[in-house]
A = this chain, B = another copy of it.
Amino acid sequence: MRPGWEIGAVSNGGYLLALAARAMSEVAERPPLTVTGHYLAPVPPGPAIAEVEIVRSGRRFATLRATLQRDGRPLLTVLGTFGRVPGGDVARIDGAPPELDPYDVSQPVAGSGEPPFPTINDRLANRLRRGDDGFRFGAPTGRAEVAGWFAFADEGPIDELALLLAADAFPPAVFNSGLPVAWVPTIELTVHVRAVPVAGPLRVLFRSRFISGGLLDEDGELWDTSGRLVAQSRQLSLIPRP
């Protein structure tokens, strides 16, 4: 992450959620379907323990909770239901992937070598929609919206766990609003897995519609290259007082 959208030198929220969910997924022996994390503290890189507990394990779904801890201090607590997307023929989609330039000609997000540089972005090869990096240069678009491509730098496949990471791996949409908001610590992040992506980068769109009362939402839609919605996300974040 480049200066301007990181929170000091702390681990990315989506990365932490995926990390906790991976531990839960191993216990559940199923991939994540819907996962909610509540962020309790900023987390500098370092060792952490995931304490995982099964609440209910059924035939199709298992519900688990987990808390990431370091030195006995809770960092992130998670509730999730695990299981495959059930499938079914009833379908109606009111929406579409964001319109983007092709991946190869889009604006790369990462620029390695600018410390403090979270290692996670060495692993990503995200690209922003044209103009959506304007907030970096004092030229926000004026819309609380960020869109782009999500991909791993090693072109690795995007599985259900990766979708949790992808849901929080872009600059906050509010940065393009032009409002005086410099950082937005996440209180809560929920991700619903809606399908397993086909190969290739994801088209993603994040939007904050309700900025008020010291809080803001951010809704995310993640689409695969076949044009299918593969995840939805929503987070509630704090607008710190200046």
A residues with CB within 8 A of B:
33-34, 36, 38, 40, 55-56, 58, 61, 63, 65, 67, 74, 77-81, 85-88, 90-95, 144, 177, 179-181, 187-188, 190, 192, 194-195, 207-215, 217, 228-229, 232, 234, 236, 238-239, 241
Contacts and interface: CB of A to CB of B under 8 A. Distances in A.
A192 B95 CA distance: 23
A230 B176 CA distance: 24
B92 A177 contact: yes
A194 B215 contact: yes
Given A95-B210, A144-B92, A214-B88, A234 B236 contact: no
A166 to B, nearest CB: 17
A198 B83 CA distance: 41
Given A74-B55, A144-B92, A192 B236 contact: yes
Nearest to A78: B79
Nearest to A80: B38
Nearest to A179: B90
A203 to B, nearest CB: 15
B79 A55 contact: no
Please tell me how many copies of the chain the complex holds. 2
Interface centre among A63, A78, A228, A239 (most CB of B within 10 A): A63
Contact of A87 (B90, B91, B213): B213
Contacts of A241: 86, 88
A81 B38 contact: yes
Given A40-B56, A88-B241, A94-B210, 16 more contacts: A33-B187, A36-B188, A38-B80, A38-B81, A61-B187, A65-B77, A81-B188, A90-B239, A92-B144, A92-B212, A93-B209, A94-B144, A188-B190, A190-B190, A194-B212, A194-B213
Contacts of A214: 85-88, 90
A207 B92 CA distance: 12
Nearest to A63: B38
CB-based closest 9 A-B pairs: A88-B214, A86-B214, A79-B79, A94-B209, A36-B36, A91-B212, A34-B188, A92-B211, A85-B213
Nearest to A207: B94
B55 A67 contact: yes
Given A55-B67, A92-B144, A239-B88, A36 B213 contact: no
